[in-house]
Structure 1
Amino acid sequence: MKELTEFILQFGKLNNQQIELIGRKAEAIEIQKDEYFSQAGKVPQQVGFIVEGIIRGFYYDNKGEQITRCFIRENSLVADYVNLEANTSSMEYIQACTNCKLLVFSKQNWDELSLTIAGWDNIKNKMVQLCMFQKSRKGPVISQDATSRYLEFMENYPRLVNQIPLAYIASYLGVTQQSLSRIRKNIS
């Protein structure tokens, strides 16, 4: 809960009673590697905060291949927020890349915080904007060559390289796994 509290307090001030209420509305869960936080075709029902682990957002292209759109790290919100708020089916999957520990709010509990805590909507909006920015960041610039994209990925996500399957990284970079293996071999 400490990590969530520190995260929230970046966006506004809350008193101890409000922080305790937020803690009571959150449920600690664990999801194993490859399990889904939310899935395409289903209406998202929760907002999460990643305490430990890495999650990715991906979709299937028209050839049926997985395209990784983003990686979400510890100390970040994770949600398909647009579809959660609109109560509509998601178009993408949010999946654990590693075993993860999260604090999760049901949609009902998340909404109740707005009714109970003065100023929560302002804090929530700032957190959600950051969450959506992180999720919407497109993969590396395709006009760069593949080696430059990989080097930029390593700079932006130094710890991920050894924590998640290379298939996810290759998908994110827009290259085949074989190309990624060659790139890694050439730069080491």
Structure 2
Amino acid sequence: MKELIEYILQFGNLNQQQIDFISKKATELDLQKDAYFSEARKIPKQVGFIVNGVVRGCYYSNKGEEITRCFISENSLMVDYINFESNTASSEYLQAITDCKLIVFSKQNWEELSQTIVGWDNIKNKMVQICMFQKSRKGPVISQDATTRYLEFMENYPSLINRVPLAYIASYLGVTQQSLSRIRKNIR
């Protein structure tokens, strides 16, 4: 819980009573590797904060290909916010790539924070903005050659290189796993 509170306090000030209220409304959740935090065609029901682990945002193309759109790791908020807020079905999946330790708020508890804590909406909006930026961060520019895309991935996600399966990195980069292996071999 300490990690979540430290994260929240970057965006505004809270007194001890407010911090205690937030802690009371949150629950800890262990999400096993490959499990889904939220799924396509379902309404997202919770907001998560990643204490430990890595999650990916992915979807299926109209050809049925699985495409990884983003990676979300420690000290990050995670939610399909637009669909969460509007109570509509998501078109993407949020899937654990590693075993994850999360702090989670149900929709009702998340809304209670806004109704109870003065200034929470301001803090929440700043956190959600970062969350949406991370989630919407466009994948690599396909007009770049694959090596450049991989080098940019290494620069943007240095802590994920050895934590994320190559298949997901290849999907994110828009290359085959074989091509990615060749690129990695040539870089070393």
Common topology (TM > 0.5)? yes
Report deviation, 1:89.
Answer: 0.3
Q: Aligned-pair RMSD on alpha carbons?
A: 0.6
- The share of aligned pairs that are identical, in percent, is 76
Q: Quote the residue 1:116 is aligned against.
A: 116
Give the Cα separation in 1 of the matches to 2:79 and 2:104.
10
Give the Cα separation in 2 of the matches to 1:88 and 1:141.
30
Q: Quote the residue 2:88 is aligned against.
A: 88
Give the Cα separation in 2 of the matches to 1:142 and 1:46.
33
Matches within 5 A, 1:160-175: 160-175=160-175
Report deviation, 1:164.
Answer: 1.2
Report deviation, 1:158.
Answer: 1.1
Q: Quote the residue 1:79 is aligned against.
A: 79
Number of matched residues? 188
Report deviation, 1:38.
Answer: 0.1
Give the Cα separation in 2 of the matches to 1:94 and 1:178.
25
Normalised TM-score (structure 2): 0.99
Give the Cα separation in 1 of the matches to 2:162 and 2:129.
29
Normalised TM-score (structure 1): 0.99
Q: Quote the residue 1:31 is aligned against.
A: 31
Query: Where do 5+ consecutive residues of structure 1 fail to align?
Result: none
Is 1:158 equivalent to 2:158 in the alignment? Answer: yes
Q: Deviations over 1:42-93 (max 9, x none)?
A: 0000000000000000000011111111000100000011000000000000
Moved over 4 A (4+): none
Query: Where do 5+ consecutive residues of structure 2 fail to align?
Result: none
Report deviation, 1:142.
Answer: 1.3
> Which amino acid is 1:153 matched to?
F
Give the Cα separation in 2 of the matches to 1:115 and 1:159.
37
Q: Deviations over 1:118-144 (max 9, x none)?
A: 000110011001100000001111121
